[in-house]
Amino acid sequence: MEGMKAPVIEVRELQARPGGRKAAGTVSFTVAEGEVYAILGRYGAGKTTLLEILAGLRRPAGGTVRVAGADPYARAGSARTGAVWRDGGLFPGLTVAEIVGTWRRWTLDPLGRDEALRLVGLADAADEPFERLTAGRRRLLDLALALVGRSDVLLLDEPTAGLDEASAREVRAVLRLLAGQGVGVVLATRDPHEACRADRVGVLDEGALVTGRDSARLRAA
């Protein structure tokens, strides 16, 4: 159909089994180019496990996962995927510019340092020591590092957890900017209000996607 965007993530009948337990059901969903998809679930529901599978860090117990058309576990590095984990990175003794510069040296065909910082709104913070960054700016730095590999897909675990509302708005604005440039975004959260800001929401329980709907319907429920 005209206007339909290609999926960058396709998950079919996935069995994740968080913590080694057998899930009661499976997970199936797709994420299109430029879409923000939220995975909503309580603590222990399997959100982080699902993100690790999408990142190619964990083998699923069953089903299929395709990121940019490839199995992320069998063909690690075949898709340009960036991840931001809840705890983020710790880089004592380094400036923002030094951190991004080091990350670039570990990356094939990296994005320019200044471009990565500009995309997340940290262009004015290149010389700032890591220790002086607020929690919100540290999260934006995590995002910059995830973008250094020219990511087509971003995976984020509780990206606004622990942030004040102003900082959370900054993070959301960056994610919307990136989605507008065609990046597919998957974020995991325990906060229904945060999930409702996404384009679509999948509700996860014990490793199974029990429902999935667009965020407007979830807000109205």
- What does the mean pLDDT of the chain come to? 89
Check residue 47 and give its pLDDT: 93
CA distances to 32, 189, 203 from 214, in Å: 13, 16, 11
Range of lowest pLDDT (8-22, 58-72, 160-174): 8-22
Please give the residue that has the higher pLDDT: either 141 or 207.
Answer: 141
pLDDT of res. 15: 86
Taking the model in full, what pTM does it have?
0.89
Q: What is the CA radius of gyration of the chain?
A: 17
pLDDT at 122 over 90: yes
- CA-CA distance, 116 to 11, in Å (whole number)? 29
Residue 127 is predicted with a pLDDT of 97
pLDDT at 188: 97
Give a three-class secondary structure readout of the chain.
CCCCCCEEEEEEEEECCHHHCCCCCCEEEEEECCCEEEEECCCCCCHHHHHHHHCCCCCCCEEEEEECCECCCCCCCCCCEEEECCCCCCCCCCEHHHHHHHHHHCCCCCCCHHHHHHHCCCHHHCCCEHHHCCHHHHHHHHHHHHHCCCCCEEEEECCCCCCCHHHHHHHHHHHHHHHHCCCEEEEEECCHHHHCCCCEEEEEECCEEEEEEEHHHHHHC
Query: What pLDDT sits at residue 102?
Result: 96
Mean pLDDT within 11-38: 82
- pLDDT of 217 higher than 90: no
State yes or no: pLDDT of 10 exceeds 90. yes
Q: Is the pLDDT of residue 214 over 70?
A: no
**pLDDT at residue 72 greater than cutoff 80:** yes
* Residue among 11, 21, 89, 2 nearest 54 (CA): 11
Confidence at residue 1, expressed as pLDDT on a 0 to 100 scale? 40
d(CA 67, CA 54): 7
Say what the pLDDT of residue 26 is.
86
Q: In the predicted model, what is the mean pLDDT of residues 198-219?
A: 74
Q: Place 212 in a pLDDT band, splitting at 50, 70 and 90.
A: low
For residue 96, is pLDDT > 70?
yes
